[in-house]
Structure 1
Amino acid sequence: MKDKALQQYARSRVEELPGAGLVHPFGPDWDVFKVREKVFMLMTDITGEPIVIVKADPEDAKALRAQYEDITPGYHMNKQHWITLRPGGTLQKDLVDDLVTESYRLVVENLPHAKRPVDPGTFGRSEQ
């Protein structure tokens, strides 16, 4: 996966997620994606490459970083709960879709029940 394809895959997945929206609280260089005012994904090129930053379960994050050289600790985020996806060729579209969906789900499950746009216990898991 080269150049902007990683960000295009991530952006396409976000467009399918109920209640997700794009904001620019840190200026035009950062695309910040939120669900009900909570961040679940960020994208930027300020590192010199187009990266995607998503939330992950700490144990999953550790395993992903060990398995994929293009997954590193979250850039400018909590290194235990966030991971950075880098374009390099090892990340397939299906994995990017799954990681974006899981990040969204992790954020939704911490929202009050009345604000949840989906059931985080089942959303995104029926295809697996």
Structure 2
Amino acid sequence: MKFMLPMAALALLSPLASTAQASGVQKQVRFATGTTSGSYSGTVKSYDYDTYTFFARKGQQLHVNLSASDLQTALFNKQLPDSVSLDPYSPSLNKDGHYVLPYTGRYDLRILQTRNDARQGKTVPYQLKISIH
């Protein structure tokens, strides 16, 4: 006997499936020898997001400068209980606008749109500078 979902249930699940499969660019952050920062550019469209992956040590300070004010930044690490906003007025930043990394390991920085902008299908280009001291 096969288990089948009613059509109404499938209709409810389809928006979730489309947002769960958001794609975008994945880049490994690599700084030139002797430097502590790097610049990147990209474009975020609709529900897609770009991910910048880097490895850092506990206590290092991360600073993110994003040119597009209508985009958001979210930092992930497997030990963090939730993502951390790195937007300019985030309470997670210190007085110098830096985030002190709490763990040694891999971090993923995502560049994404607000849900409202994503629903409208906007395409937003950006310039990103990542510094780790």
Fold agreement, TM-score > 0.5: no
TM-score normalized with structure 1 length: 0.26
Bigger proportion of residues as helix: 1
TM-score normalized with structure 2 length: 0.25
